[in-house]
A and B are shown apart, each in its own frame.
Chain A
Amino acid sequence: MLSTLGGGGGKPAKPSFVSYVTPEEINQTEKECSRKEKHPDLLPGEVIFCSAGPVLKSIKDDLFQRVVYGTLLCTNFRVSFISDEAPSDEEAAQLFKNKLYGENDIPLTCVDHIYGGFDDKKKLIISGFVKNKYPSKIIVCCKDLRLFHFSLAYAKEEDAKKIFQGIVYHCLEPKSLKCVFAFSYGEKTLLNKENQTKPKTVMFDTSEDWAQEIKRTKGNCKLISNNADFSISAKLPQFFIVPTHVTQEDLTKFDGKGIPIWCWSHHSGCALFKTASLPLMQEDASSQLYKSYMEGMLNAVAQTHLYSVKTEELSDSLPTVQDIQQSYSKFKQFFLLDNTNDFWMTDVKWFSSLEGSCWLDIIRQCLAKAVEVVECLEKENTNVLIMEEEGSDLCCVISSLVQLMFDPYYRTLGGFQSLIQKEWVMGGHRFLDRCNHLHLKDKEQSQAPVFLLFLESVWQLQQQYPPAFQFSETYLTVLSDSIDVSVFSTFLFNSPHHMASIAKAMLEPGQRSPVNWPTVWDWSVQFDSRAQDFFINPLYMERSRQDKAPRKMPRPKHQRHQSLPSSAFKFSPSAKKGFLKDETDSLKKMLRVKRLSRWMNSPDSAQASTREFFVAWQRRPLDYHGLLLPCLEGPTLRLWSQRYLRWIPEAQIFGGGSITILKKLADLLAEVQDLRGNLDRQACRADFNHQGVVARAKSSIQLSSAFPFTMPRSRSFKPAIPIGPLHSLITDSLADQEDEENLGIV
């Protein structure tokens, strides 16, 4: 097994460095470990590559810097530090523990950058091969924004060198997909298919799933199921839905490009489609072909409802994936701080730095674009076709946001997971390339946190309308972390075709059964059920019983009655618009021409109309189970502080944070549910006890704002006192003035 692994990854090894240890060496290192009685609980399929000790890890406990001795190891899954200190009771009792990796473990794919510390200098490491001196310190920056400082100064020189090379090699050098841990893990684990996902997640890998979805939204499009062997296109999923008027012939023309893929149907009958756009602007022989093909496709889309369609080329108005990557690289640096001094120095210009990274602005642009699409569907009832070169990046962001704003089903935990399956996994988002987990040099250009951008936008929506979402902020944070845990099939491939072909290739060397990659939705892989309680938002308001449809459906129905008909927008006096629309409608009916309009002709008027749409929506009473529109004014878009500040001790509010409220709510909710349960039992049996309620007695641990990710360790803490340049305030003539003009001298 090992040789297969080694074969994949060995190619770029420098002669001086043994890329993969031989089985003998593994035995040795394992022996060494057992001698020290320090070894991690290895996961199935996990093997240790190298280890060194004693290594010092510096940690900041409640603002005090201290060091811990231990052993540093590198396995095929993670870099792990095993502390010589016995875990404290609090750590042992930690509720929110990830079963795959602990607080001192870094999954290899989670490593973002490695710095080497040479005396007092810090150098970015790009290769394990160092000419002169090996660094005495390794600083590891993680994609989940943890920061580790390890000192190798006390380890044997040989060990230090080996662990440094090992870590750098396994974390940063290009490797083949089969070296990713999911493959060894999947071989050794049995998946419990039954309770795979507790909240039912629709995987959209069968035609039934799609059929059910189109039934739920009452769409009138047709299901295409003859791509099961990817004969139509390898870029499309095995099953997908297109407008009824798209013919079989149309499907096979341009390798999947230009086909309007159905995303979701509005209750009025109009629908949202996405497509990988054809290069229409080129002036060559094929462009005429493209143009007439696109016209046909638009016609097909238009016929779905009222012969109207609006198209939007997303790359015209939204940042490119390179912009997204660039912005995020800048942005994340603000949270990888070496020391307290850095923290306070960057605090002074905090707001302008945030703005300078443009990250929040990109989120705003995505949300704004989604609102524009919502406006077309809701107010004008036109079909919308969004396009983009590959149709699997910003198309996924916008289409999922639109659906999240409209459809309360997607705001449940199961619904949200299904949405990601539908739009992202089956929609062929190139997770592998966008994450560049394999560190392939030629893929560096395509690396971009597009999915994270989506999660960020969801977080913004969620913090504006907390009762509308069944899942919690913690859930989103954990999901964003899981992207970089190389165990789940969900984020491992570029498309359904990619996954299928790899799975097929794996089968060939006479294996017993297909590989079992867990999906990320099987949360039991990472968290026990108590920890999974943190995924539920205690503020979520379920629809009251009267509101619910009387029939029990296997999946929640798409709720039609909640969004008002377009007549509800009559306050916004757009008489001119209405008039024009009537005319074009009759015109269209007469001439049977499609209306193809572009939005961004005059950005100002588009903005004004969107604002009008928002204001009209806002005037209506807020329905958490209806259409939700984000407020995009400056102060309302905020920093996702749980994700970004959780590891920074200076930024932790001890005994505070919104978690203190959520905890109270969750406790009360549990109490109410217990009572409810008691009541139900009481109704049939006549024995009643209070035990359930008492057993839930609150644990009165002091929490901090970073809960549940970190816990304050000691109870007696010192406040974080700002230091550094506090004199940045412009001292003008005012500052020199006296508070009182006539200072009385007694």
Chain B
Amino acid sequence: MELLTDAPLLPGEERVIDKDIIYICPFSGAIKGRVLISNYRLFFRNVDADPAVTLEVPLGAISRVEKMGGASSRGENSYGLDITCKDMRNLRFALKQEGHSRRDIFDILFRYAFPLSHGLQLFAFLSQEKFPENGWNVYNPMQEFRRQGLPNDQWRVTFLNSTYELCDTYPSILVVPYTASDEDLRRVATFRSRSRISVLSWIHPENQAVITRCSQPLVGMGGKRNRDDERYLELIRATNRTTSKLTIFDARPNVNAVANKATGGGYEGEDAYQNAELVFLDIQNIHVMRESLKKLKDIVFPNVEESHWLSSLESTHWLEHIKLVLSGAIQVADRISSGSSVVVHCSDGWDRTAQLSSLAMLMLDGYYRTLRGFQVLLEKEWLSFGHKFASRIGHGDKNHADADRSPIFLQFVDCVWQMTKQFPTAFQFNEHFLVTLLDHLYSCRFGTFLFNCESMREASVRPQPPHWHAPQPPAVSQGHWSDGVTVVRLFQEVKKKTVSLWSFINSEPSSYSNPFFTVDLSHVLYPVASMRHLELWVSYYIRWNPRIRQQQSPMEQRYKELLALKEQYLKKLEELQLSDRAPQVFPRGPHLSNSASPSPSSPPPRVTRLQTPF
């Protein structure tokens, strides 16, 4: 039975297996159909196409595949596969018990869902997709710094990290205080975890207050101090005349920061950093977040907890974590707009720090609320500064219980969604964009989210073991900046061999844009980080549940209709106006109208209006 010959395939996607199967839908029961597994996706369609049931799951979204039941299991549909997905759903398939019918499909699924564990390549490297836009050009760090007015007399661009010698998880281009020498930076790097020194993320165009980010200081049990680090933060403070005290936001709860001393980390002591104020933001670590999401999944899939929905939701703490992240970012944004410079860090400065700095920047700078600007924000604060996407998501890796996995980026996108809910006209992108973003966070169809940091993206030619950290000697190809400084060209390999998610998005921007967007770059957006306004993102977390109706936003629809109606009326008016004017215009001077437009029946409307003196 060649039922699935018409299944949609991407360029570069190849069929692997095609098989009869029963999908055990948690909402409507067992559905007979056929499944196709390619090197990119699992596709299912039911036999009696009415009502049509299709399932499409990119293999990248699969976190776990298990056998369910044995050859001797009793009961209907008790023999099959159980698939856990990263996108808040589980899938169950049943097969015939005779003849080990699931063996081949299980092996294939296991192999292609976790290619890196089997010496295969991620699909992004096999895809032959072409798009009119090239998303790899969206972010150019120099261009972005220039947009912020950098370098200036207080801040300079350094290429010290061009070969990732200073810090292998940082981008190659950094902005640092003008007064700090490269030698200073090297010395400071020895006192910050993983050499992630404090560098500039964003500067306020008027008051020159800055958001800088880094990792924890290596204070340790002995309470070590480092004069260079202390001096360096003082230099940062001094770049802005209005900052009398630098605010250091430590994203962690106080106790955790203290506990970190045991492993050599810690926080900035009061006596060591005289002109700094330390604030703890009480945001929990990646493990707590992972467990919280797990609890959330339990209450929304497959069935929504009914009788005690609100208290169940509360007990997952998911929204409480969202509240803390948002309120931390609000505090950062508030300090910046009142003119004080800020240092943000957590332990390593790539999870909570990325959340805080990017959310604060989203509140402060309207540019990041546009479709392009948001892409720049992600490229900059998340991708170039080494949020460990590969480890946090576990792309292509079979080890589903890896303690490195955590929904930090999802949590950030949830915070962004909360902001779009509270400010529905402030963002150029819509909810569909955020959902698409998360879908491709897992799909492995695009190269954007595949690796842990810039240096690895650049070096990656073949699949790497998931815990691979040290950058290999980069396959350096030299390029020139317009300033004449020689640097390593970024993203050499990933950029060549894969497609960027932004190519896909920007080739069809209209479906991701919010019709209500109103350009207002000057206002700082302060969301209300209160449970009274935070809500569960139903259309993401509960989107698989058919009982919760997925209305196409009636507002959006209505607005578009009205816009169309307006156009239509305007056109009609123009036409009417023309037909009225015509007899007046012609007697006065037909030659004039002839010269204005060769075909008097349809002159350009604007000209007509200008011709009509009142």
Chain A residues near B (Cβ < 8 Å): 343-344, 347-352, 354-355, 360, 465-467, 538-539, 541, 571, 611, 614-615, 618-619, 622, 631, 633-636, 638-639, 641, 645, 648, 650-658, 660-661, 664-665, 668-669, 671-672, 675-676, 678-679, 682-683, 686, 688, 702, 705, 717-722, 726-731, 734-741, 743-746
Answer whether residue B189 sits at the interface, using C-beta atoms and an 8 A cutoff: yes
A672-B569, A676-B569, A738-B347 known; A539 and B287 CB under 8 Å?
A: no
Q: Does B9 contact A (CB under 8 A)?
A: no
Q: Which residue of A lies closest to B391 (CB)?
A: A740
Which one, B51, B193, B320, B426, contacts A744 given CB within 8 A? B193
Knowing A618-B546, A688-B576, A727-B282 are in contact, say whether A656-B288 is a contact too (CB < 8 A): no
* Contact call A668/B559, Cβ cutoff below 8 A: yes
Q: In the assembly, what is the distance between CA of A651 and CA of B530, in Å? A: 7
Instruction: Choose one: A648, A657, A664, A722; the contact of B518 (CB below 8 Å).
Output: A664
Whole-angstrom distance between the Cβ of A611 and the nearest chain B Cβ: 8
Assuming the A-B contacts A634-B304, A665-B558, are A347 and B422 also in contact, with contact meaning beta carbons closer than 8 angstroms in the complex? no
- CB-defined contacts of A350 to chain B, threshold 8 Å: 314, 530-532
Chain B residues close to A by CB (< 8 Å): 51, 189-190, 193-195, 218, 220, 253, 255-256, 259-260, 263-265, 282, 284-288, 291, 304-306, 308-314, 317, 319-321, 323-324, 327, 330-331, 333-334, 346-348, 351, 403-404, 422-426, 516, 518, 523, 525-533, 535-536, 538, 542, 545-549, 551, 554-555, 558-559, 562-563, 565-566, 569-570, 572-573, 576-577, 580
Given A351-B531, A721-B330, A729-B288, 10 more A-B residue pairs with CB atoms under 8 Å apart are: A347-B532, A541-B558, A622-B549, A651-B528, A719-B330, A729-B317, A729-B321, A738-B285, A741-B403, A743-B260
| A669 engages B562 (CB within 8 Å) | yes
For the complex, what is the distance from the CA of A614 to the CA of B546, rounded to whole Å? 11
From residue A459, how far is it (CB to closest CB) to chain B in Å?
Answer: 16
* Cross-chain contact B330 with A672 (CB below 8 angstroms): no
Q: A735–B253 contact, CB under 8 A?
A: yes
The 9 closest A-B pairs by CB, nearest first: A634-B309, A719-B526, A350-B531, A675-B569, A351-B314, A355-B310, A351-B310, A734-B287, A656-B423
In the complex, which of the residues B308, B422, B576 contacts A656, with contact meaning CB atoms closer than 8 Å?
A: B422
On whether the beta carbons of A745 and B264 are closer than 8 Å, the reply is yes
Output the least CB separation between A79 and chain B (Å): 28
Let me know if A654 and B526 touch, CB within 8 A.
Answer: yes
Partner of B547, one of A618, A638, A655: A618
B287 (CB) vs chain A CBs: closest residue: A734
- The reply to whether B253 and A727 form a contact with Cβ atoms under 8 Å apart is yes
B548 A633 Cβ-Cβ under 8 A:
yes
Chain B residue nearest in CB terms to A738: B263
Tell me whether A668 and B253 are in contact (CB under 8 A): no
Complex formed: what's the CA distance from A633 to B259 in Å? 42
Known contacts being A350-B532, A539-B558, is A664 close to B288, with CB within 8 Å? no
**A631-B547, A676-B569, A743-B263 known; A722+B530 contact, CB < 8 A:** yes
- A668 near B566 (CB under 8 angstroms)? yes
A634-B309, A726-B324, A745-B218 in contact; A650/B576 too (CB < 8 A)? no
What is the bound-complex CA distance between A669 and B220, given in angstroms? 64
Chain B residue at minimal CB-CB distance from A354:
B310
Whether A631 and B531, one on each chain, are in contact in the complex, defined by CB atoms closer than 8 angstroms, is no
Do residues A661 and B425 form an inter-chain contact, with CB atoms below 8 A? yes
Docked-complex contact A679 and B526, CB < 8 angstroms: no
Is B310 a contact partner of A347 (Cβ separation < 8 A)?
no
Q: Is the CB of B549 within 8 A of A631?
A: yes
Identify A746's interface contact among B195, B331, B348, CB under 8 A.
B195
Q: Which single residue of chain A is at the shortest CB-CB distance from B424?
A: A661
If A633-B304, A651-B533, A721-B330 touch, whether A466 touches B554 (CB-CB below 8 Å) is yes
Tell which of A539, A653, A683 touches B554, judged by Cβ atoms closer than 8 Å. A539
Known A-B contacts A735-B256, A744-B193; the reply to A665 vs B559 at CB < 8 A is yes
B555 and A641 within 8 A (CB): no
- Cα A344 to Cα B545 in complex, Å, equals 33
Contact A635 B190 (CB under 8 A): no
Provided the pairs A651-B530, A661-B555 are in contact, do residues A635 and B548 lie with their beta carbons within 8 angstroms? yes
B422 lies within 8 A of A657 (CB) = yes
Complex alpha-carbon distance, A125 and B538, angstroms: 44
Task: List 16 interface pairs A-B (beta carbons < 8 Å), by A numbering.
Answer: A355-B309, A467-B558, A618-B547, A641-B532, A648-B532, A657-B422, A672-B562, A679-B573, A682-B573, A682-B576, A721-B529, A722-B529, A726-B324, A727-B253, A738-B263, A738-B285
Given the complex, which residues of B lie within 8 Å of A639, measured CB to CB? 532
Q: Is the CB of A466 within 8 A of B569?
A: no
Contact of B287 among A352, A354, A737 (CB under 8 A): A737
For A614, what are the chain B residues with a Cβ–Cβ distance below 8 Å? 547
A75 to chain B, nearest CB (A): 35
CB distance from A149 to the nearest CB of B (A): 21
